[in-house]
Amino acid sequence: MKFANTTFRRAAVSAAAVMAAAFSLSAQSEDFNTGKYMEIQSMILRTLESQYVDTLQLDGLLHKGINAMLSGLDPYTVFIPEENEDDLDLMTTATYGGVGALIQKTPQGYIIIAEPYENSAAVKAGLHPGDTVVAIEGVDTRELTADQCSGRMRGRPGTELNMTIVRGRGGDTAEVSLTRERIHVSDVVYYGFLDDSTGYIQIGGFTVDGSKDVRRAFEALKADGRMSRLVLDLRGNGGGLMNEAVNIVSLFVPQGTLVVSAKGKHPASDFQYNTETPPVDTLIPLMVMVNSASASSSEIVAGALQDMDRAVIAGMRTYGKGLVQTIRPVGYGTSLKLTTAKYYTPSGRCVQAIDYSHRNEDGSVGYVPDSLKKEFRTRLGRTVYDGGGITPDIEVEPQTYSRPIISLIYSNILSDYAIRYYNTHDSIASPGEFFLSDGEYADFVKFAAQKEFDVRTEARIEMEGVIEAAEREGLCDNLEGLVEEMEELLDRISLTKEEFLLANKPVVKALLEDEIVLKFYLRCGGAESALRHDRQIARALELWDGNMPGECGKKPAGGQ
């Protein structure tokens, strides 16, 4: 028996040695291959530099090579060159040095101030929507692209910027000197009441100290005394800093609650975030609004509150980004934003789309068959699933817009008319009470009808496609009568710009009112105005009885 055990031990040691040797050889083989291809790449570059027939920009060539290499990975692993340092700062903190305003090019080639940010250097310097920037530091803006103008406006906080402005109101020319500031875009877009008892906070991102903005908004609503339930709106929120998402969740759950965990290839990438501060309110009923553009940190908040049965999730399934990115310096002022881990909600779900190479047109997670989904349980035992995004408890379709209306929006016609309106009116009613008269809308119709936008409906485009296909395939001669009938039908389903704008007056008028309010009351006012026409949130409120799913109204363990 002793002999047998000794033999077994020798065999085990021998097998272990073989496995260790194989592992060592495998590691050496990987290292060799890596070194081999790095040497080959270096040889190729030296050969190109010395022998290629034309002059090469090696920096550009290397950038293309790096980007091509990373393109085969997930969509979020990207190279950040030294010249994009400001973009990196904005990406991580939502702050930058500059004027603090959105700008757009005019048909004449100048730059106009389209929307100043609240409390920005632009506002302090007296810049208004519709002011034309004709020169920046003496350089005619007609000679610059919009990006070049934006780059010249940005700079180190505390430095001076000089611009020549033609006022939208009055047309006077003025020399404006302002001091660039560290611009911070608040995470809270708007907060207020949807009705007599429903508080509302729209969260636009997750940046440094953004959770403090949310806390202040919540405390202000609570201090009002009317709020008996709260809506957190994360629609369109693409995410940001994970710790800020955890801090927002911590406002509504007991201290020490697990919010999110992550696991990566390297142990240093693993982490677990629990709430570290006492909550503000663990009992107020919550509803979190999400859509297909709610991603990353938005999904952490929605997923955690759903797993804890702390909130009703309403809207549409979220984007499906459950990957953690880390920014690493890689030398010479450059950085690499790379995916280092996947994150998991408290129930163990990973909201990352199983196959992120096949997504919907908007980039959100596509169809996930039931066979690929796994079941998980919330704190109160409800079934939730992984496979991609957070599936709402209350599914509510968003309002959709026709093709011509989308064309109207993206052609800046609404914004252009809103600036014209701003320049001819000293003031308007408050965001919740401003409406255009029928005469003013008729004036807009005349204005828009002279502009270029695609008024063709989906029906017309489909019909045009059928006729074009018939012509390509030589069927028109044989189907002459039918083609004539189809062309007659095409005329019947076509509208002039004026006819379209009048037929769609309720929708277009509402969008135009929101745009005008945005010019007068900036981002906060624009968001408040848009809520008046928000059918999705109105329907979600109808379906929400103010209680949590599962064991409705049950007090969370340790709740206050």
Distance CA 77, CA 68 (A): 11
Question: In the numeric block, which tokens belong to residue 161?
Answer: 């910027």
Q: Are 316 and 290 in contact (CB under 8 A)?
A: yes
Distance CA 454, CA 468 (A): 19
Q: Are 345 and 289 in contact (CB under 8 A)?
A: no
Q: Which of 233, 321, 386, 529 is catalytic?
A: 321
* Long-range contacts formed by 355-362: CB under 8 A, 24+ apart: 356/74, 356/75, 356/320, 356/321, 359/320, 360/292, 362/292, 362/293
Q: Which of 186, 292, 294, 296 is catalytic?
A: 296
Distance CA 336, CA 329 (A): 6
Residues 6+ apart with CB under 8 A from 219: 280
> Could you confirm whether 362 is annotated as catalytic?
no
Q: Quick one: residue 55, left, alpha or beta (phi over 0 = left, psi -120 to 50 = alpha)?
A: beta
Residue 344 forms beta bridges with which residues?
261
- DSSP code per residue over 154-199: ---TT-EEEEEEE-TTT--EEEEEEE-EEEE--SEEEEEESSSSEE
Q: Which of 187, 213, 233, 307 is catalytic?
A: 307
Task: Output the CA angle 356-362-367, nearest 5 degrees.
Answer: 50
> Could you confirm whether 296 is annotated as catalytic?
yes
Question: In the numeric block, which tokens belong to residue 102?
Answer: 């959105």
Q: Annotated catalytic sites, by residue?
A: 296, 307, 321
